[in-house]
Structure 1
């Protein structure tokens, strides 16, 4: 065996957990923005006094923002800062529950197909224009227009908003999308079918509005720099030094400006955990993620925090690769990985082994209340003997003795170390050579979209609270599939769950249970790795940060500094 105890111990001294794409095309970000954090009680913060403390929050991220265009965003970093600078119909509040934003309230028709949103009249854009119903019409039509090149527009709206799929396929003009401005402050949305989680969807970044006049004035420069962005949320981006960091400042014209306590948020790009810890100790930043080498050192520190998240990491297999197109080869790779060592020795931050495509403590059976993960149990296990047997059979079927496979990884120090561990695990399969290529986050997103990889370490955080947010990704030609996986049987189960069974919650839930078994246990589309938990240091004077199970990882609207 190539894996040795000393390698485990060495990696344990250098590895940090890198972050998932919260809804990011199957990619992951290693940045601080993907961690969950709550520096204090976040309830009723608008009534609390922040005293005389300077209202400036200093944080880090280890990845550049790939885009600030809501239609083009697919990753955790982009959605984090879109959520900080923009308001949609609703926004996430305490406990991940939608709270009014541009919409004051809404009504739903008896057949659950027509949703009418009543908009507030005191919301404005940073260019001085009022926020109106037409801004949603324009943005949503733009997101599904094939000329825009949005990945998430067709993915999030297809099969949800009437005609979205036909528009994305170029069969119907964007003007036929089921979204209508009844007047400036009344928005009517027609759904393709009843969607149990639609209110939750309206908080997501793809559904943000855009000021048409501003976007068209900027043309191709829209969203590329701080001065080509338009905001209607709690903060505006006033500085964006690409590759170095960015600055958000309080939006004084925000409709709910009185609730916003922070004057400024400074974000620095820092890729090395040790650098982040040094900056934290010197007082230059207020929060930093911890790798395994620092967890034991700071576990007893009053600033130390750990929180489990409904975010999964896994290996994606490109089935267009001849070797990875063999299901026995994929199952061998599932079984060869020692997840217990990875979470207990390597990560050492509270993460747990992932054993399926749905995280634990995420969704429960609508009648029994039993957790999805508990019902379906462990769909993968570490079994090195069986892995070698399956691998030998796969090589025989493929007519090969040795194999060489590429592995797409990240370029941060922490990502490189985790990828080294997984390379070591995979190469226990006799005759397998794994070539790791580390590239910047933005390039990984592009290469994932174009399926320019063999194996990829990817992550996914939920877009809404429903099994569909994880399982719908893998349907044939799905907008976020990018694996080459195609199964009529799997497609049929997802189709049935989201159509015929849309208003039959028990049967729908049980169909998702069977779909997960098909995906992981039978077809081995993914090799689940771990469900993320984040270990970090947070200054005790940081208060009111709300953490989310979906969408932006943090809500800074109610954050404040007290007692610094």
Structure 2
């Protein structure tokens, strides 16, 4: 059973101990943009008061690695790309696409050809018009193997015609299924119907690029404020590496009249206590709280809990003899008390994870019911049943004792939470768990090479569709790395994305079945928690939209009122 003394020991632990795949932020994200996917913070229809200075002051826990949309892979880069750039569409309220450079689009009856009609009043910050050719160049560059983009092949492969074969060097880049019919008409040909393609176009990898400017800058492109261009609400005017950056309102933006903030200043601050002090003294307008500060500020009117569609779970390498046994995996699922983990250890509003799809992420296309509510809890904490399953597994394996290595992070916080999970797992009679604490990059490398047995891992969505979570676990999937292979599961995911691609109700219901097979029947993962973050927001900050994917925040409609 759970050890109360242990819970008291770790009461003050902070949440942000793990990087999340897919736009992950820094290892300490309490002040990072990676901490904030949630509901809107205020009404976006308001207007700034005439007396308030429209300057927003923020902190972030990490430097921007690059502002090159083809090369970006992390939350910080995608945040500021989304603030300074417009793609075909951008994220609006409740994660819904709203017009960006595209005014509208048409889709062919077979779902394979998408024609985007572009606005003619959009310009780059150097005065050049934004045209269809900017999208053709950017998307070709992203999948060109000479570019070395990670997300280009990942996001476009199997989606845009010929993207996968181009990324493999088998097809000329000019044969990518994207063409400019004229300066303001973009035609995209898909490999198959993709129901979530409009949502995909909001993602940073699909942003346009000005070819002449990019090629003029060469390998210095997007590494400094003066070696990048903007076509969005803000322009980066200052970038002091390791210290911070400034973006200012883009007066030449096509929708500039609806942008009220004049300037956003960002400082790099990695220490939560320093960030809280800056907030208390009025130097910044928002701060993330680590768990030791939550109880101190919980009663404040400025305190907010922000739920994210980001899941953490234990991956189990089925190439290991013990973990190849489904009853052993089910025992591991059942032995962890998730409710105590989120209530006492995380202490920030995080939720117990009970499946592979987070709550409040996607809804049934007909009934409007939440996916998580429809499928219910696919795992539960049941120590007695966990012991029974573990006993059955040991009998089937012909063993009395077992030893498993658990791959975790090397920060103090990560090691403390990993020790808690070890404590939970070792409630299974005869099981010894050895925690291996390594730097994040080494953990990524060992995951890629499947050099682990148990591993704490996480995932956030790339687009608003169940497929972004469920497609990961198909046989030989690039992010699978568990050894799991099921012809039945593969066929379900394939059917959902081909035969049922244009049948939204049947497709959604097939995804419900697939999740049950993945978690309940095959026990591929041991879900842990759905992340939430505790933050303080100044009450005068209005109109910020908090997104479920891509840029964590949309500042286009933000304003200061009553400061």
Contact 1:223 1:229 in 2 (8 A): yes
Contact 1:113 1:193 in 2 (8 A): yes
Matched, 1:407 2:407: yes
Contact 1:28 1:460 in 2 (8 A): no
Inter-partner Cα distance in structure 1 for 2:52 and 2:303: 22
Inter-partner Cα distance in structure 2 for 1:462 and 1:125: 29
- Give the Å deviation of 1:420: 3.9
- Give the Å deviation of 1:126: 3.3
Contact 1:30 1:415 in 2 (8 A): no
Q: Secondary structure at the match of 1:495?
A: helix
What pairs with 1:107-506 in structure 2 (closer than 5 Å)? 107-320=106-319, 324-391=323-390, 397=397, 401-409=401-409, 411=411, 414-429=413-428, 430-439=430-439, 448-449=447-448, 451=450, 453-506=452-505
After superposition, the C-alpha distances for 1:443-471 in whole angstroms (9 at most, x for unaligned) are 66566555565544333232332211211
Residue 13 of structure 2 corresponds to which residue in structure 1? Answer: 14
Residue 99 of structure 2 corresponds to which residue in structure 1? Answer: 100
Residue 41 of structure 1 corresponds to which residue in structure 2? Answer: 42
- Give the Å deviation of 1:136: 0.7
Inter-partner Cα distance in structure 1 for 2:336 and 2:99: 45
Contact 2:17 2:409 in 1 (8 A): no
Over 3 Å counting, the alpha-carbon distance change for 1:337 and 1:110 in structure 2 is same
Contact 2:200 2:463 in 1 (8 A): yes
After superposition, the C-alpha distances for 1:418-453 in whole angstroms (9 at most, x for unaligned) are 34433433344444233242535x666566555565
Deviates more, 1:116-125 or 1:314-323: 314-323
Matched, 1:518 2:493: no
Q: Secondary structure at the match of 1:279?
A: helix
- Give the Å deviation of 1:322: 5.7
Inter-partner Cα distance in structure 2 for 1:410 and 1:244: 25
Q: Secondary structure at the match of 1:147?
A: coil
Inter-partner Cα distance in structure 2 for 1:362 and 1:381: 21
Q: Secondary structure at the match of 2:409?
A: strand
Residue 544 of structure 1 corresponds to which residue in structure 2? Answer: 543
- Give the Å deviation of 1:5: 1.1
Inter-partner Cα distance in structure 2 for 1:62 and 1:201: 27
Over 3 Å counting, the alpha-carbon distance change for 1:521 and 1:228 in structure 2 is farther
Q: Secondary structure at the match of 2:10?
A: helix
Inter-partner Cα distance in structure 2 for 1:237 and 1:322: 53
Contact 2:23 2:550 in 1 (8 A): no
Inter-partner Cα distance in structure 1 for 2:25 and 2:282: 35
Contact 1:154 1:479 in 2 (8 A): no
Inter-partner Cα distance in structure 1 for 2:523 and 2:242: 37
Over 3 Å counting, the alpha-carbon distance change for 1:228 and 1:236 in structure 2 is same
Contact 2:55 2:264 in 1 (8 A): yes
Gaps of 5+ in 2: none
Gaps of 5+ in 1: none
- Give the Å deviation of 1:358: 0.9
Over 3 Å counting, the alpha-carbon distance change for 1:128 and 1:30 in structure 2 is same
Contact 1:90 1:203 in 2 (8 A): yes
Contact 1:543 1:560 in 2 (8 A): yes
Residue 507 of structure 2 corresponds to which residue in structure 1? Answer: 508
Deviates more, 1:339-348 or 1:119-128: 119-128
- Give the Å deviation of 1:20: 6.7
Contact 1:155 1:478 in 2 (8 A): no
Inter-partner Cα distance in structure 1 for 2:449 and 2:150: 12
Inter-partner Cα distance in structure 2 for 1:183 and 1:61: 41
- Give the Å deviation of 1:491: 1.4
CA RMSD of aligned residues (A): 3.0
- Give the Å deviation of 1:63: 3.6
Contact 1:316 1:455 in 2 (8 A): yes
Contact 1:319 1:485 in 2 (8 A): yes
Over 3 Å counting, the alpha-carbon distance change for 1:20 and 1:548 in structure 2 is farther
Deviates more, 1:425-434 or 1:74-83: 425-434
After superposition, the C-alpha distances for 1:102-122 in whole angstroms (9 at most, x for unaligned) are 112222223332221121223
Inter-partner Cα distance in structure 2 for 1:264 and 1:248: 6
Contact 1:20 1:76 in 2 (8 A): no
Aligned length: 559
